[in-house]
Amino acid sequence: MKKPFLMMALAAVSASALAKLPAPVLDDAAKAKAEETKAKTAHAGKVDGYKLCLAMERAAANHFKTVAAAGKLAKPAQASPACTDPGPFVWPAPAAAAAPSAAAAPAAAAAAAKKP
């Protein structure tokens, strides 16, 4: 009697564990952090592609040099786009942080004008 009851209880617990959890509610800071992480990941992909392009060019140059040294006839290389360096990662400052300082500047100027 205990065994079937125990099995049903375990099935109920496991079914509730598999239930879909609600999406977490993110505040503005968490959303900004997620966007920055997304941008960093995209930039890392561009850097990886650039490094792969450079490695392929080195391998092709080595291949043509080796084939020429062996006295064999090599097919000419296919035209490929040049490798473009994506540069360092630069994350723009959040617009929300810049907005209060921009609004504070005219207020400070108005306060300074009223002092005299």
Q: Quick one: which of 77, 94, 88, 108 has its CA closest to 32?
A: 94
Question: What is d(CA 40, CA 88) in angstroms, rounded to the nearest whole number?
Answer: 10
CA dihedral 43, 48, 41, 91 (to 10 degrees): -20
CA dihedral for 65, 67, 72, 74, sign (positive or negative) = negative
This prediction has a pTM of: 0.57
What number is the average pLDDT over the span 99-112?
50
Q: Provide φ and ψ at 80, rounded to 5°.
A: -135, 155
How many residues make up the chain in this entry? 116
Helix (H, G, I), strand (E, B) or coil at 21: coil
| pLDDT above 50 (res 2) | yes
| pLDDT above 80 (res 97) | no
Domain boundaries, the chain: 44-70
CB 46 within 8 A of CB 86: yes
Per-residue pLDDT of 44-69, as tens digits, reads 999 999 999 999 999 999 999 999 99
Q: For tokens 């592609």, name the residue.
A: 49
Instruction: Give me the percent of the chain exceeding a pLDDT of 70.
Output: 73
In this predicted structure, what is the pLDDT of residue 87?
Answer: 94
